[in-house]
Amino acid sequence: MSAVEDTIAQANRDRSGALIGYLPVGFPTIADSIEAAVAMAENGVDVIELGLPYSDPVMDGPAIQVATQAALANGFRLQDGFDAVAEITSRVSTPVLLMSYWNPILQFGVDRFADQLLAAGGAGIITPDLVSDEASEWIAASKRTGLDRVFLAAPSSSDERLVRAVEASTGFVYAVSTMGITGARADVDSAAKTLVARLRTAGSTSACVGLGISTADQVREVLSYADGAIVGSVFVSALSTGGVSAVAKTAASLSTGTLA
């Protein structure tokens, strides 16, 4: 069992489930993003998801797009991502996953990327635009290094594709709750519950729901049927408006939704 899967399983034994928090590396600065990630870990976030800024973030909502574009404008380099992971994992034991679109990994070199992430203490990669059918190179590299590979599942996915996503994923399967881009919204799409049920039928033992979760009540709702709740935009907005202290307060508030 991977560190991520073990952490999620432990959260389900101890509480209602796991809280996974997302922030982009390099926003508003590299140092701030590191401090914010540490603050999340120290205030109830079970798994950290660090997004690598990318010039064409097709799945990201407005808050995350603004943040990642600011990081790129400030000179973000891929090496900064590995350095951030190394700093965070030296300070907290919380598993750290990178979220990256596939093209930067391919351009950097799949094996080179895997080796540097492993050396930095990272737990694995979430690849939102890479389907398991086309991931043979990454699957081979992750098996060699022991890194987790998290694939996405959407409400529109066929039953056959869900089975392939479950079989190819380690750590957890990322269940996308809506058919759009990321961003906080008032109600978490009811399609998420149906999707997780379909993932269970496909054999998933670790399914986490993301896209649109912004309150402790929504975390609690999601954890009534899923293993983890993934929160992103609300953390980015907190960091943008209130700095690291606001991220800490947001994490502490959201984590109350994991309590039975």
pLDDT per position as a tens digit, 24-42:
998 899 999 999 999 999 9
Residues 6 or more apart in contact with residue 107 via CB below 8 angstroms = none
Report the alpha-carbon distance of residue 164 to residue 11 in Å, rounded.
26
What residues act catalytically?
Answer: 49, 60
Q: Where are the domains of the chain?
A: 3-258
- Identify the CATH assignment for 3-258 out of 3.20.20.370, 3.40.50.970, 3.20.20.70, 3.40.50.720: 3.20.20.70
First vs last C-alpha separation in the chain: 25
For residue 230, give the nearest of 172, 147, 179 by alpha carbon: 172
pLDDT per position as a tens digit, 88-134:
999 999 999 999 999 999 999 999 999 999 999 999 999 999 999 99
pLDDT per position as a tens digit, 127-154:
999 999 999 999 999 999 999 999 999 9
* Residue 229 tokens, joined: 């709740």
pLDDT per position as a tens digit, 186-216:
455 678 899 999 999 999 999 999 878 899 9
